[in-house]
Amino acid sequence: MTVWPAYLAVGAGSALGCSLRYQVSLAMAGIAGPVFPWATLLVNTLGSWLIAAFVAYATRRTAGRVARWQPFLVAGFCGGFTTFSLFGLETLQLLEQGRAGLALAYVLLSVPLWLAGAWSGHRAGHRAAART
C-alpha cells in the first residue's frame, strides 16, 4: 500500500472506531448509568481483543488482502476505538518475547504516568480557564 492510501485507510478506520466507541458510551450510559465507567472498560477490553486478533492473523498472512487491510483495522479502527488496545498488545508482545520484567515495568509505569498526565492536564486547563 502506498503512503496516501494507507493514511486514508487509517483515517477511515479511525472515524469508524471513534463513532462506534461513542455509540457504546451512549448505550452503556443508558444501561448502567454514570456510577462506573463501564463503557470504557468494555471498549478497552474489546479493543484489546480485536487488535491482538487482527495482528495475530495478519502476521501469518503477510501478503494479500489481510496485509492491505491492516492499516485500516489495526491503526485505524482499533486506534480510533481505543488507544488502550495497543497498550494491551505491546504488553502481550513483551511477555511473548520472554521479557516479563520489561512487561511488568511497562504496566507499572504506564498507569501512574497516565494518571499524572491527566492530573497535570486538568490543572493546566483550570489555570488557563481562570486567566480568561
Q: Are residues 58 and 122 in the same domain?
A: no
Residue 89 in any domain: the answer is no
- DSSP for 7-48, written as a single string: HHHHHHHHHHHHHHHHHHHHHHHHHH-SSS-HHHHHHHHHHH
* Domain, as residue range, for 123: 98-132
Digit-coded pLDDT (tens) for 8-64? 999 999 999 999 999 998 999 889 887 778 888 889 889 889 988 888 888 777 777
Question: Full-prediction pTM beyond 0.85?
Answer: no
- pLDDT for 60 equals 77
Residue 90 in any domain: the answer is no
Domain total in the chain = 2
Residue 65 in any domain: the answer is yes
* Of 129 and 92, more confident: 92
Give Cβ neighbours of residue 1 (< 8 Å, ≥ 6 apart). 9, 67, 68, 71
User: Which run of H or E residues covers position 71?
Assistant: none
